[in-house]
Amino acid sequence: MMEKKLKLWFKSLEDKEHPDEFDAKQLVKLYSIKVPQGRRLKPKDEFDLNGIDPPYVLKVCSSNILHKTEFQGVVLNNDNESVQDNFNKIQQRFPNENILVENQSTYMGPEFIIGIIKDPALGHAVMVGAGGVLTEIYKDTAFRLAPCSVNEAMDMIDELVLSPVFENFRGMTLDKEKLAQTISQVARLAHDLGDKLSQLDINPIVFSDGEWIALDVKVMFE
């Protein structure tokens, strides 16, 4: 069943080596990983918010623009009154690119990263760590080879300097086991895709309304 779903997903891609953010999110959704409500609008598509709750985030959606914020390709905190005007502005900046319109998730607690890297000798490894824009500064990460069980993923979380946030730190209630389940599912994804998968990053993934939500996803294939 999953093999069939993956084949259909690959068939739908316009860029089969560097899928854009929307396509990458459709991939992780196959593995029960939550993503925000959203829609990818092509340059000539009619503006449509149907099925997406406010507030909204607008993002340029292109595999050629990886660091969207640096290129003024992200507009946050849009309400029903401002979203159309801001959509027009971002479309003017990127007239030939797709635009992703999503519900802007509210969350408490820190941002995490879950990723896959490929080692030439050992194969795929799954990683979890402190996420968001400070990932490269903190370098607080733990790794296991894929596939990875939920129990192994729990151990990975315990290895992080950030792990005390799961112990009701400053009143935060984060579901550690659900994060471990997500890590295990990402490792399964890597195992299922095999050698064709080069890299995958979910950064950040945050805890919102009782679920871990992947706010940004990047995937690369060989």
- Per-residue pLDDT of 166-220, as tens digits, reads 987 666 789 999 999 999 999 999 999 999 999 999 999 999 999 999 999 999 9
Mean pLDDT on 2-31: 94
Reading the block at residue 159, the tokens are: 């290895």
Q: What is the pLDDT of residue 169?
A: 67
pLDDT greater than 90 at residue 50 = yes
Phi and psi torsions of 89, nearest 5°: -65, -45
Mean pLDDT on 151-155: 98
Q: What stretch of H or E contains 181?
A: helix 176-193
Distance, first Cα to last Cα, the chain: 24
Q: What is the pLDDT of residue 134?
A: 72
Instruction: Name the average pLDDT for the chain.
Output: 93
Sketch the domain layout of the chain as residue ranges: 2-33+107-221, 38-103
Angle of CA points 214, 184, 150, to nearest 5°: 125
User: Whose CA is closest to 70, among 59, 85, 83, 84?
Assistant: 59
Q: What is the pLDDT of residue 19?
A: 95
C-alpha dihedral sign at 184, 187, 189, 192: negative
Give residue 137's pLDDT band: very low, low, confident or very high (50, 70, 90): confident
- Tell me the pTM: 0.93
ω into residue 54 within 30 of 0, thus cis?
Answer: no
β-bridge mates for residue 58, sequence order? 75, 101
Mean pLDDT on 39-66: 92
Angle of CA points 192, 200, 202, to nearest 5°: 115
Task: Output the CATH code of domain 38-103.
Answer: 3.30.1490.20
Give residue 17's pLDDT band: very low, low, confident or very high (50, 70, 90): confident
Q: How many CB atoms lie within 10 A of CB 23?
A: 21
29 and 89 Cβ atoms separated by less than 8 Å: no
The SS3 call for residue 93 is helix
Reading the block at residue 112, the tokens are: 């995490």
pLDDT greater than 90 at residue 157 = yes
Cα 118 to chain centroid, rounded: 18
Q: How does pLDDT run across 18-42, given as a tens digit for each residue?
A: 899 999 999 999 999 999 999 999 9
CA distance 103 to 101: 7
More confident residue, 62 or 192: 192
- Does the structural domain 2-33+107-221 have CATH classification 3.30.70.20? no
